A and B are shown apart, each in its own frame.
Chain A
């Protein structure tokens, strides 16, 4: 690939981040080998007691503690050594501890991502990689997005483009940076009028687009059997209204957050192809979102659907 083109990509991504401030979602710099399949069932437990109503951090005794759990049987597959496809289909369940308003359970959105490694400079000490991910997600059940905070999703089609760069020193310590743009279509609701800083006479709600940024520092320890990451994610919506005073939120809200996270990934020597990931994340700043603590547990199992030809690892 030509240098000009690389510059184009870089400028394109920066351009997006400037014009559209916003985004969200976890991203890594991992690719499958060709014909390698990874099965990664993931369990997530999110909860909050306080939330940001607009910019006001408050509790709500009529909710108590809000909990959202999801099970996501994720799949990743290497089309080539440089291109992977990822599939995600979470089952989500929500409830509050007060228990007067009904929680919701259901299959949320089917998402498909294509991830490609576009840049790679490598020598004995330095390894630099550049990746691009394009994603598409769409609701596949008839859940209602206009039932916040209990709704299991935003009920929109989401198109995303994300650039990731990773620098690794002596295959031990690495820094990963990501920036993504999320384009979300309108969500259909069950009323034909709503308020979004003014009347809207439509059965659709405008769901803000978003930018997301990520900075992650990682370290391999214990003979490369344990990977530790600490990082921060920032989502910034480029439009949207605030939750109105003492009112539930709605999909039109400007949802921003900054979180801090720590993640451990363990590769047991006795189980070839298996890893266990545990992570913890905490929102410490936000707008129109819960002050969420999220715990995630994932087991990954990767294997080759066809015999592998070379010995390059997946990382």
Chain B
């Protein structure tokens, strides 16, 4: 009997404690690294919206032989002696290219706020209100248009900010701390970059200011994170306080310029009241004889941001000029072929198709397709050890292309107002939830083709992979049952065009 009990308990304990559990990291795995190059001439690259590299002015730094500078170094040396384990963890977390972490934080916030409003008891729907962000539904609702706009403004400001920082670094030429002092411990990889202003602190200030404007409820947490990074730069021996303060002021100035542009980009009126939404729907019906209707119960009366197609683009000069052609009319012979394909996939779903649909779902409660592409980009940026300026150059063009892709896609969506498969195909079932906006073209396809085109320009050795990702992301919507193949194909074509337009700008920014 005793043996029996031993057997039971030991089998259970053995199985339980040896059972396979996995690491479930809250952060992507990034370590600090030595930059592959430092781009001494980066200060002369062409900014995106700034008119010059001195639009925001910072004062000249004190000389490294001055008493003030020496006092700053002494302060740093003293502080390093009392740093805690938490300080060291923070230094390792942020590393020496903190745009990567701020990008990840943006992914986190996008996921956190990406929830669609629940209906009121009377069957109406509330909407988020920027003037009262804490009232349910919280502001913002980070759907793909909103999130692509956050990423674009943030990384555009980073790029312009670092061009300016690079300019000042070489203009004032205050040497990196490790060049003038050996008493300061260097806890991060060092580089030959002049230290004033701190590039990391420029990224930090821009991130704090822009993300606070975009996620007002996160203000306190963003300040906490930003203070942690400033402290890490200081304690790691990377930047003295004057390097950080000048950078903070530069970053705030640049962020302000971007926020001013964002305030006037038309996003405020993208989510329309019902009468405007209805008139857009009627116009499409008059034009084509069809219109999209939300199929949820209760029906959502207004689609997601019907006027996002009118928001100001970064690089696409004329949205209507690259609008895709008219899709096949519902019920037409051409449509019936696509209907048959949708039904056949839905009824004979393979495990692989299901996995692709889920991998790329990037729907509610995720960082959306733009977030997904930022992850690929940051992984490769770290893999190829790009310096902070090269990093944000890629992120800026990537995210501005994706925002433009979203704008062009939304223009087509509400111009054509094409019904989703659940509306047009009787009895049709999906494995993904159908989004609250018209079908044609596919947002995933447009975002992804634009992203693949841009990333392939910067990291040409990965072109095949990026194109495969884009094509898989596009197919995933067909497998999920929420897009016809013609939505996806048109989206890929449209996205590629937007990518090309963006790459043409990048080609001429002086960096190559």
Contacts and interface: CB of A to CB of B under 8 A. Distances in A.
B359 A191 contact: yes
Interface stretch (A29-37, A97-105, A228-236, A262-270): A97-105
A199 B26 contact: yes
Interface stretch (B49-57, B143-151, B249-257, B424-432): B424-432
A193 B367 contact: yes
A99 B429 contact: yes
Interface string A103-136: 0000000000010101000000000000010101
B5 A62 contact: no
A186 interface: yes
How would you classify the secondary structure of chain B's contact residues: helix, strand, loop or mixed? loop
Contacts of A157: 19-20
A195 B366 contact: yes
A158 to B, nearest CB: 9
A185 interface: yes
A183 interface: yes
B19 A195 contact: no
A239 to B, nearest CB: 12
A193 B366 contact: yes
A159 B5 contact: no
A55 B23 CA distance: 29
Contacts of A82: 4
Interface stretch (A43-51, A168-176, A241-249, A282-290): A241-249
B355 interface: yes
B16 interface: yes
A146 interface: yes
Nearest to B15: A159
B12 A161 contact: yes
Contacts of B375: 193
B346 to A, nearest CB: 7
Given A190-B358, A190-B359, A134 B431 contact: no
B365 A247 contact: yes
B157 interface: no
Contacts of B367: 193
Nearest to A147: B431
Interface in B278-297: 295-297
Interface stretch (B107-115, B201-209, B465-473): B107-115
Nearest to A6: B5
A245 B23 CA distance: 27
A116 B429 CA distance: 47
Contacts of A248: 433
Interface in A273-289: none
B351 interface: yes
A190 B354 contact: yes
A12 B427 CA distance: 54
Contact of B12 (A99, A134, A194): A134
Interface string A133-144: 010100000101
Nearest to B372: A193
Given A1-B5, A100-B429, A198 B108 contact: yes
A223 interface: no
Contact of A1 (B2, B16, B427): B2
B340 interface: no
Interface residues of A, number: 52
Contacts of A246: 115-118
A18 interface: no
Nearest to A150: B431
Contacts of B298: 61
Given A1-B1, A147-B431, A195 B111 contact: yes
Given A102-B431, A199-B111, A114 B24 contact: no
Interface string B5-23: 1001101100110011111
Contact of B297 (A62, A190, A193): A62
Contact of B115 (A136, A142, A247): A247
A118 B12 contact: no
Contacts of B29: 201
Contact of A146 (B8, B118, B358, B481): B358
A61 B297 CA distance: 6
Nearest to A99: B429
A83 B24 CA distance: 39
B28 interface: yes
Given A62-B296, A142-B351, A118 B5 contact: yes
A139 to B, nearest CB: 13
A26 B39 CA distance: 67
A220 interface: no
A188 B245 CA distance: 46
B25 A245 contact: no
B27 interface: yes
A9 B112 CA distance: 44
A114 B8 contact: yes
B358 A191 contact: yes
Contacts of B8: 114, 116, 132, 134, 161
A200 interface: yes
B16 A159 contact: yes
A159 B22 contact: no
B33 to A, nearest CB: 19
A185 B21 contact: yes
A100 B388 CA distance: 47
Contact of B15 (A136, A144, A247): A136
A245 B118 contact: yes
A202 B314 CA distance: 34
The 8 A-B pairs with the shortest beta carbon distances in the complex, nearest first, are A190-B358, A246-B118, A61-B297, A204-B22, A1-B1, A102-B429, A190-B355, A183-B16
9 contacts: A100-B295, A157-B20, A160-B12, A161-B12, A185-B19, A195-B366, A199-B104, A199-B107, A202-B23
Interface of B: 1-2, 4-5, 8-9, 11-12, 15-16, 19-29, 104, 107-108, 111-112, 115-118, 136-137, 295-298, 346, 351, 354-355, 358-359, 361, 364-367, 375, 422, 427-431, 433-434, 481
Given A101-B430, A204-B22, 14 more contacts: A1-B2, A102-B481, A116-B4, A116-B8, A134-B11, A160-B12, A185-B19, A192-B359, A195-B112, A199-B26, A200-B24, A204-B24, A245-B118, A245-B137
